[in-house]
Amino acid sequence: MIDLIKKGMLATVGAAVVTKEQAEGLLNEFVDKGKITAGEAQEMASKIADSGKKEFEKAKKEVNSRIDEMLQGGVLVTRAEIEALEKRVAALEKAAKKAD
């Protein structure tokens, strides 16, 4: 469940990140119109892509931090916690049967 939430949130963030190729494609229109040089377009595309990567990593850390907070705050229960409780219940049931 948690992995699904993480993947969904990261996919949303990832969709907003502009790749270098996408930026180059848009900037090439300016090159074709003579507004900037090819070198300037490549430099801008690299800067945009680097900025996008940094923003993606920042958002990824934030998502992971929020999910960890939710887990620590008791909002969500991990599989390990469920399994531990199931073992405790089974042990208590076994002890109760012996006591009868």
pLDDT tens for each residue of 69-97: 877 776 677 789 899 999 999 999 999 99
Distance set, CA 75 to CA 2, 58, 62 (Å): 11, 23, 17
Task: Give the model's pLDDT for residue 1.
Answer: 46
Q: Whole-angstrom Cα distance, residue 49 to residue 19?
A: 5
The residue with tokens 């920042």 is: 58
pLDDT tens digits for range 6-61: 566 556 555 555 566 777 778 888 889 888 888 888 888 888 778 878 888 888 88
